[in-house]
Chain A
Amino acid sequence: DSGVTQTPKHLITATGQRVTLRCSPRSGDLSVYWYQQSLDQGLQFLIQYYNGEERAKGNILERFSAQQFPDLHSELNLSSLELGDSALYFCASSLAGVAHTDTQYFGPGTRLTVL
């Protein structure tokens, strides 16, 4: 158990809909990362937050947005969903948000299926 929790575990929805994925980081970790894992694209970095502020952005679509709240949990919002958005979405957390000095601890993921 990494200490990172993600809800829900599974999500099935229809095209055009909007969903929210939630992540609670490990106790004491200030940084949260979101990744998408799909058969087509592999494992891709989406976005990083540190102590409530956006720190880095990867290949995140404009239809996707995220935020980190004062209690440090984070939410990833996916809207106008398309079939191609079906994937496993991982959240990871680290202490200070620097990939090569910190260790990123990954949650178990949320599997999103868009029908």
Chain B
Amino acid sequence: AQSVTQLGSHVSVSEGALVLLRCNYSSSVPPYLFWYVQYPNQGLQLLLKYTSAATLVKGINGFEAEFKKSETSFHLTKPSAHMSDAAEYFCAVSDNAGNMLTFGGGTRLMVKP
């Protein structure tokens, strides 16, 4: 069964600093990986997804993630944090049949002025 682990339930950065949110996956087959963002009192919104086309995936709002098979990682980065990036971020993996998403525990990103 696939699973994802997000290291760090809370990450705090200063405005303008690099954002790095960590996600490691476990999968017996090539995985499909996703990053979602959840703003307060809202549903989840897809930031980006890896479906084996390219290892570096660019998403919305300046975020990108790199799939590294050797490290079983799919970390999310953004060069310069903005106050509006403060939210909870979820890494997810889909099952083999592509029906369901399994989410990590989430990382709450705080951005300090």
Residue numbers of A with Cβ under 8 A of B are 2, 4, 33, 42-45, 48, 55-56, 58, 90, 92, 97-101, 103-109
Contact = CB atoms under 8 A, between A and B. Distances in A.
A98 B106 contact: no
B105 A58 contact: no
Main secondary structure of the interface of B (DSSP, over half): loop
Contact of A100 (B32, B45, B104): B32
B65 to A, nearest CB: 15
Q: Report, as a range, how many residues of chain B touch the other chain.
A: 20 to 34
Interface of B: 32, 36, 41-46, 49, 51, 90, 94-95, 97-106
B42 A98 contact: no
A42 B101 CA distance: 13
Contact of B51 (A42, A101, A105): A101
